[in-house]
């Protein structure tokens, strides 16, 4: 099975840019340390500093599910809930 790619686009709502960025930055180190994590990179949109893109690669769906159950991920969900708009794409490479 090919790795699972996740592209999460997070847009901080007005006045929440700093809070959202700090919450996203906190989740990176423990996420990268997870056994099933192949990549976990936080990026910022150079044209709009309220937009962030998290590029992730996971060994498989089970690894992503385990990640979503971790305390650090749950803290992120609570921290940005209602303060950001989030779009998630789950992808498998074709070629």
Question: For 26-70, how does the pLDDT look when each residue is reduced to its tens digit (9 = 90+)?
Answer: 999 999 999 999 999 999 999 999 999 999 999 999 999 999 999
According to the CATH classification, is domain 4-91 in 3.40.50.300?
A: no
Domain ranges of the chain: 4-91
**How long a stretch of residues is the chain?**
95
What is the 3-class SS of the chain, one letter each residue? CCCEEEEEEEEECCCCHHHHHHHHHHHHHHHHCCCCEEEEEEEECCCCCCEEEEEEEECCHHHHHHHHCCHHHHHHHHHHCCCEEEEEEEECCCC
Average pLDDT for residues 16-30, to the nearest whole number?
A: 98
């Amino acid at each position: 099975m090919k790795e699972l790619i996740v592209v999460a686009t997070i847009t901080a709502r007005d006045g929440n840019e700093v809070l959202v960025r700090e919450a996203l930055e906190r989740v990176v180190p423990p996420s990268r340390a997870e056994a099933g994590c192949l990549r976990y990179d936080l990026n910022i949109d150079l044209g709009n500093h309220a937009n962030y893109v998290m590029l992730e690669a996971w060994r498989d769906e089970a690894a992503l599910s385990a990640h979503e159950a971790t305390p650090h991920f749950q803290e992120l969900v609570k921290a940005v809930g209602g303060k950001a708009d989030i779009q998630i794409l789950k992808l498998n490479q074709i070629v």
